[in-house]
Amino acid sequence: MSFKSAQNGAGWVLLAAFLWGLLGIFGKFAQAQGLGPLEVAFWRALLGGACFALSAGLRRSRLPRGRDLLLTILFGLAGVSIFYGSYQLAVRAGGASLASVLLYTAPAFVALSGWLFWKERLGPRELGAVVLTLGGVALISLGGGSGVQVSALSLGWGLTAGLTYSLYYLYGRVFFERYDPQALYAVALPVGALGLLPFVPFAAKTSVAWFNLGCIALLCTFAAYTAYSLGLRRLNPTRASVIASLEPVVASVLAALLFAERLSPPALFGAALVIGAALLFSTASKVQHPAAG
């Protein structure tokens, strides 16, 4: 791999991290227009799924069938319905920066589920990363901040988002090498939208609300994944995972500038521990950023 190719790959992954970092920002803007968090999640899944379906159709990608289709449907309900919904609920309850940081507890959930269900051994680095994650969440819980509401509700929704985000790692281990990921998302995201539909109270939407929903679907979902996949073609997964971990940094800086969300020094240190643990996982094991956002 040439140096120029690696540079281009890093640029694509950096773009993906920036776009994913905008997710909570656009979500908060959309909610300020009177949309509920579950409606924001619903339109993200539906419109994002339409983008993936169009792309998969143009690429003539093979769709999952049989047992693989059933597992993809189940993934759509858990990894899209619950994940998208809980993330937007975490944004409403605690703020965009807190939600983005708690999302990066996902690698710890991956490691623990591998240990519990597949009897995978946790080495010293994995165990250390789990401890760092737990310590980071504890510091965030105790530290709070200005414009950031740390509560049982915000932590609960944020950790639920992290848990369901971890399904992308587990599902992707098997299916992302078997099928074009865009074809899988073309199935999983519409299924996720259907899973959310019964719980969504729809509100009248202004043009500003539609603009923010469109940005979430097109930029933070479809374009972010596409940029990340282009980066992976030119960069090894570990380096890509490290660069993608800038996502919560982007979200926190923008949330501070736009919404005056500022974590206290202890909470900032806790956030650094959570992100550091995710980086440690990416270099210590096969747990890599799944390109979900």
Residue 216, φ and ψ in degrees, nearest 5? -60, -45
pLDDT at 239: 73
Q: How many CB atoms lie within 10 A of CB 117?
A: 9
Please state the pTM of the whole predicted model: 0.91
- The pLDDT of residue 121 is 80
pLDDT of residue 194: 98
pLDDT of residue 83: 97
Residue 257's pLDDT is 95
Number of C-beta neighbours around residue 263 at 10 A? 27
Q: Which positions of the chain have pLDDT values less than 50? A: none
pLDDT value at residue 268: 93
What local confidence, expressed as pLDDT, does residue 287 receive? Answer: 55
* Cβ contact 70:244 at 8 Å: no
pLDDT score recorded for residue 290: 59
| Angle of helix 224-232 versus helix 181-196 axis, rounded to 10 | 150
Each residue's pLDDT tens digit, 181-198: 999 999 999 999 999 999
Under 8 Å between Cβ of 126 and 65: no
| Every domain of the chain and the residues it spans | 3-284
pLDDT for 3 equals 54
